[in-house]
Amino acid sequence: MSQRLESSSRRGFCLPAIALMLALAVVASPANANANAEVHANANANANAEASGAAAVVCPTADTGITLSPGFCATLFADNLGHVRHLTVAADGTVYANSWSGRYYHNDTPRAGGFLLALKDTKGTGHADVVMRFGERASEGAAGGTGIALYRNAVYAELNDKIVRYSLAPGQIVPSGKPDVILSGLPLTGDHPMHPFVIDAQGNLFVDSGSATNACQSQNRMLESAGISPCNELETRAGIWKYDANKTGQVFSPAERFATGIRNGEGLAFDAAGDLFATQHGRDQLSQNWPKLYSVEQGADLPAEELVKLQQGGDYGWPECYYDQSQKRLVLAPEYGGDGGKSAGVCAQKLAPVAAFPGHWAPNDLLIYTGTEFPKPYRDGAFIAFHGSWNRAPLPQGGYDVVFQPMAAGKAFGAYVVFADGFAGAHEDPGRAAFRPTGLAMGPDGALYIADDVHGRIWRVTYRGDAATARVAPAPASAAAASTGQPLPPEGMHPDAGRATASLTPPPGATREQLALGDRIFHGEASNGTCSGCHGSDAGGTSVGPALNKGIWVQTDGSLAAITRIITTGVAHPRNYTGVMPPMGGAPLSQQDVAAVAAYVWAVGHAAR
């Protein structure tokens, strides 16, 4: 059972949503963790501190925007850095970060300078007073990346389809020369083009290559599309590869695969014993692609996000299997003959996770705490940065936090807790979240660094409580999170009261009643609509789906008939975004529902004009 102190209305379970890719383009992320078993309660920080056995701590900085487990404090180490992904920290305290650009961020303009950053606090204030950029720039064809590491006086970084090495001279915090190419030819197509990596003390370089598809279907993410067997994608995707960090000129190939069946292993970390662990993003759209086998609630909850212990030659199940946290076992996926979670089949021979978490929270990084600055209950445990879901609609989204999972002997030891919360602010929504955790690192002094890829904020977390009385306990709900988000009377008296639809103009032939129904379906309040999960609750777009409120039509001519057709048939090959849209967004919409959603989307898009 997990622990969380918060309003019960704040976290729910949502269904995968690959809604309306009709695309208005934007100009310009064991078994002890069934989400239904979460403990929800309203409490304040002092009550939480009492429950943890620690006295309440007054932190020197109170405006960090997040809440933390009792005894911990944060400072804003740096801000507005761009789309920061992963972090690493040198022995002298210099923080290095990689940042990314491209379709995941609406193709917005990258920050000036290189995509790599070196940050240092030279005054001991908890804030970086030195911020330097280096590496190739967008003008040189660079797009940045996710992975970054330090090894033998050099910065290793993911850059486009490569992992490169920048040597550091004594006394330098940024390199002066061009990088060496350690590895090239990494796959950049499909759903998961990022390549996080870690390097051990012996120079072994472990690289993630995420899957190109959701479940290796004949038609990616489409209704009842069968799985390809054998899944040839596994030759170069959905696994961990092993290379030599000391050797230049290596080329990615199937021969160096270390472990397989890991759909998207963005978090990689070693424990004190040298064992390697990885997080896994579970597959999407069980109920959208297989509505005869899974309910909306099951699609929101399943499958679990995973923490796995890696071993050479290990097979962790994807695409044939997924982990059902309520049954505490791997079960057969519907694309490969599964019957809604009853049968295990070949999954009985696959490797199960050592810990599991609620579905679709998106574990983007992992840190196993090997320091001594944090009190003993937090040592050797796993911190996981959950980027937050987009695909739990029509139910509320989840994640957008940093979780702590106690560990012992390489396995989960007790319940996980939400360690850091409040990142999303008032909107747990991929298009409107204030911040989304994406990177973790530990400094030489034991401080924990947390990165966000919305604005590029980095927090520095330290412990200031009484170590002798510390116990693992959840963070209190933030002020924004504690709000239910429900409108107060009179807006709450009628489902359409207070809606922005009053200012929208219906398309010719449509009625305001249709517009209001379309609004409710879009936001998941009727007919199990999933549109807002992909396109955002404000129709402003997310990393997987375009904005619908810009008045720029890409996949259609903007006519009501064209919008209706796209909703009905779906979008198997979207432009500029990864979010494939199944027919009707995977929701059981009637013809009247489709007409209503089409009218709403038309009105939202034309309002921009």
Tens of pLDDT, residue by residue over 326-341, are 999 999 999 999 999 9
DSSP-based three-state secondary structure for 296: helix
What confidence tens digit (pLDDT) does each residue in 120-139 have? 999 999 999 999 999 999 99
- Name which of 149-163, 304-318, 512-526, 583-597 the model is least confident about: 512-526
Tell me the longest C-alpha to C-alpha distance in the chain: 72
Mean pLDDT of 413-435: 94
On the CB side of 196, CA atoms within 13 Å amount to 27
CA-angle at 28, arms to 583 and 559, nearest 5°: 40
pLDDT band at 567 (very low <50, low <70, confident <90, very high): confident
- CATH class of domain segment(s) 35-482: mainly beta
What is the model's pLDDT at position 541?
A: 78
Predicted TM-score (pTM) of this structure: 0.84
What is the model's pLDDT at position 609?
A: 67
**Is the pLDDT score of 424 beyond 70?**
yes
What is the model's pLDDT at position 464?
A: 95
What is the model's pLDDT at position 500?
A: 63
What is the model's pLDDT at position 354?
A: 97
564 vs 151: which has the higher pLDDT: 151
What is the model's pLDDT at position 55?
A: 58
What confidence tens digit (pLDDT) does each residue in 466-516 have? 999 999 999 998 766 544 343 333 333 333 433 467 788 888 888 888 888
**Highest-scoring range by mean pLDDT, 261-265, 483-487, 532-536, 577-581:** 261-265
pLDDT band at 24 (very low <50, low <70, confident <90, very high): very low
Name the token pair of 12.
Answer: 């729910």
What confidence tens digit (pLDDT) does each residue in 86-100 have? 999 999 999 999 999
> What is the rounded CA–CA span in Å between residue 160 and residue 147?
11
> Which helix (H) or strand (E) element contains residue 299?
helix 296-301
513 vs 146: which has the higher pLDDT: 146
- Name which of 34-43, 182-191, 435-444 the model is least confident about: 34-43
What confidence tens digit (pLDDT) does each residue in 173-225 have? 999 999 999 999 999 999 999 999 999 999 999 999 999 999 999 999 999 99
What is the model's pLDDT at position 597?
A: 85
**Is the pLDDT score of 2 beyond 70?**
no
Neighbouring CB atoms inside 10 A of 190's CB total 15
For residues 46 and 58, is the Cβ–Cβ distance under 8 A? no
Domain boundaries of the chain, sorted by first residue:
35-482, 495-607
User: Mean of the per-residue pLDDT values for the chain?
Assistant: 86
DSSP-based three-state secondary structure for 139: helix
Write the CA distances from 56 to 47, 52, 401, integer angstroms: 9, 10, 22
Mean pLDDT of 10-22: 33
204 burial level (CB within 10 Å; 0-12, 13-18, 19+): middle
Name the token pair of 28.
Answer: 């310009």
- Name the DSSP letter for residue 503: G
The domain covering 495-607 belongs, at the CATH homologous superfamily level, to Cytochrome c-like domain (1.10.760.10)
Kindly give the pairing relationship between strand 363-368 and strand 204-209.
Answer: unpaired
CA-angle at 301, arms to 397 and 319, nearest 5°: 110
Share of the chain above pLDDT 70, in %: 86
Neighbouring CB atoms inside 10 A of 371's CB total 17
